[in-house]
Chains A and B, each alone.
Chain A
Amino acid sequence: MTTRAPQGRTRPGAADQQVGRPGVVWALPAALFFGLFALLPMVLVLVLSFTQWSGLGSPEFVGTENWSRLLDDPVMLKSIGLSLLLTALGVVTQTPVAMLLGVWAAGHQWNRAVLSAIFFVPLLLSAAAVSVLWRAVLDPNFGVPAQMEWLFGDGNLFGNQSTAIAVLVFVSLWQFTPLHALIYQGAAKAVPPMLYEAAEIDGAGRVRSFFAITLPQLRNTMITSMILMIVGGLTTFDTVLILTNGGPGTDTTITAFYMYQKAFRGFDFGLASAIAVVLVVAATAISLVTVRLSGYDKMRSELEGV
Chain B
Amino acid sequence: MMNTRTRKSLTAAAVASALVLPLAACASGDSGGSSRPENEIHVMVYGDATNKVEQQMVDTFNATSDVKVVLDTIPGADYQQKLQTIIDTNAAPDVFFNWGGGSIEPFVDADLLLPLDDFIAEDPQLKDAFLPAVFNSAVIDGKSYGIPMRGTQPVMLFHNKQVLADAGIEAPETWDELLAAVETLQAKGVTPIALGGADQWPTLMWYQYAFDRVAGPELFEKALAGESDVWDSPESREALDKLSELIEAGAFGTNFDSVKFTDGGSPALLRTGKAAFELMGSWNYSTHYDVEPEWTDANLGYTAFPAIDGGKGDAANITGNTNNFYSVLAKTRYPDTVRDFLKLMYSDEFVEAQLAIGNLPTTTNTEQFLDQAASPDYAAFQFDLVKNAPHFQMSWDQAFPPAAGTPLKIAVQQFFSGQIDADGFIQAMQSLPASR
Contact = CB atoms under 8 A, between A and B. Distances in A.
A56 interface: yes
B197 A159 contact: yes
Contacts of A47: 14, 17, 21
A143 to B, nearest CB: 9
Nearest to A39: B13
Nearest to A159: B257
A193 B81 CA distance: 57
Contacts of A265: 81, 402, 405-406
Interface in B180-215: 197-198, 200
B274 A141 contact: yes
Contacts of B420: 249
A40 interface: yes
A247 interface: yes
A248 interface: yes
A138 B20 CA distance: 47
A276 to B, nearest CB: 15
Given A43-B17, A135-B263, A249 B258 contact: no
Given A40-B13, A139-B263, A54 B268 contact: no
Interface stretch (B104-112, B126-134, B315-323, B371-379): B104-112
A169 interface: no
B259 A266 contact: no
B106 A156 contact: no
A247 B198 contact: yes
A267 B402 contact: yes
A158 B268 contact: no
A158 B29 contact: no
Contact of A44 (B17, B405, B414): B17
A137 B218 CA distance: 44
Contact of B24 (A58, A138, A261): A58
A136 B263 contact: yes
A20 interface: no
Given A141-B265, A142-B265, A267-B402, A59 B258 contact: no
B198 A154 contact: no
Contacts of B388: none
Interface in B382-433: 402-403, 405-406, 410, 413-414, 417, 419-420, 433
A56 B87 contact: yes
A55 interface: yes
Contacts of A139: 258-259, 263, 265
Interface residues of B, number: 49
Given A141-B268, A261-B406, A267-B106, A57 B88 contact: yes
A158 B85 CA distance: 32
A38 to B, nearest CB: 11
B431 to A, nearest CB: 10
Given A56-B87, A139-B263, A156-B258, A43 B410 contact: no
B110 A155 contact: no
A224 interface: no
A156 B257 CA distance: 7
Is the contact region of chain B dominated by helix, strand, or loop, or is it mixed?
A: helix
A55 B112 CA distance: 13
Interface stretch (B46-54, B138-146, B248-256, B297-305): B248-256
Contacts of B14: 43, 47
B84 interface: yes
Contact of B403 (A39, A158, A159, A266): A266
Nearest to B11: A43
A245 interface: yes
B17 A56 contact: no
A249 B425 CA distance: 12
B9 interface: yes
B28 interface: yes
A250 B410 contact: yes
B308 interface: no
B16 interface: yes
Nearest to A264: B81
B403 A57 contact: no
A35 B259 CA distance: 44
B58 to A, nearest CB: 27
B25 interface: yes
Interface in B243-280: 253-260, 263, 265, 268-269, 274
A248 B419 contact: yes
B91 interface: no
A257 to B, nearest CB: 11
B413 to A, nearest CB: 6
Contact of B17 (A40, A154, A248): A40
A141 B410 contact: no
Given A39-B9, A140-B265, A247-B410, 7 more contacts: A43-B17, A56-B110, A58-B24, A141-B268, A142-B265, A159-B257, A159-B258
Going nearest first, the 6 A-B pairs with the smallest beta carbon separation are A159-B257, A156-B255, A158-B258, A43-B13, A249-B414, A266-B403
16 contacts: A40-B13, A47-B17, A135-B260, A136-B263, A140-B265, A142-B268, A154-B255, A159-B255, A159-B417, A247-B200, A248-B197, A248-B419, A250-B414, A265-B406, A267-B84, A268-B403
